Amino acid sequence: MLSKRIIPCLDVRDGRTTKGIRFRDNIDVGDPVSMARFYYEEGADEIVFYDITASSDRRGIMIEVVRRVAEEIFIPFCVGGEIRTIEDMRRILLAGAEKVSINTAAVLNPAIISDGAQAFGSQCMVLGMDVRKVEPTGNIPSGYEVVINGGRTLMGIDALWWAKRAVALGAGEICLNSIDTDGVQSGYEMALTRLISSSVSVPVIASGGAGTIDHIVEVLTQGEADAALVASIVHYGTYTIRQIKEELNARGVKVRMTW
């Protein structure tokens, strides 16, 4: 069995880590560079960094912050936010990231997935998906709709269809975020996570909703996710990465325990 991964998520705005609920009411929770270093030392398997206002502000990612984080950690590092071209990807990878996460740009221009996979390899291409639960329709039979622009724009695209198409285009991993559970700390969106995880051939990172270790155990087992993104429960000190992994290990969930 491959080890399950615990991945802290740093949502960054104006050079500071923030956290909100359902993409709203964000508050400052710290310096992303020092937080990344702390989580690395605690045993995190990867770090995800999202420049959450790069798209809405119509600017490039704060590349200097990316570079400073990359200098402090020695685990895989994924960066997302306003990545629209191969050159954007190249700049981020040269700054020290191992992966790029594309979300809005991929929905608007799916060819960027295949272009990026051809240029840098599928292992570098992470499809970010923001999803809302809706009433099933002919266009959205799964009952889950893709949303872009930081949760602002409903696209009328079925989440399951889009996940399968992105993988066929070359996405090597999916970071699946439920807007309905984001920041609420009431548990991951289990039905959505299981639906996507069981339907694609690439790893799926569950995102949005972790409030307890029980939630993480559930999504990594019943939800069939390969990794769990965590934010509020570690940013606010409810649990440390070490505590989460020790408890997962005690419950028989295989995780990396050496760091």
CA atoms within 13 A on the CB side of 13: 16
The amino acid sitting at 210 is A
Annotated catalytic residue: which of 45, 88, 130, 182? 130
Decide the pairing of beta strands 47-51 and 5-13. parallel
Cα distances (angstroms) measured from residue 33 to each of 19, 155, 164: 16, 34, 34
130 is catalytic: yes
Phi then psi for 248, rounded to 5 degrees? -60, -45
How far from chain centre, in Å, is Cα 42? Answer: 19
CA atoms within 13 A on the CB side of 49: 36
Helix axes 241-250, 32-42, angle to 10 degrees: 30
Annotated catalytic residue: which of 11, 51, 88, 158? 11
SS3 143: coil
Strand partners, 9: 48
Show the tokens assigned to 115.
């272009």
Let me know: does 127 contact 166? Beta carbons within 8 Å: yes
- Active site amino acids: 11, 130
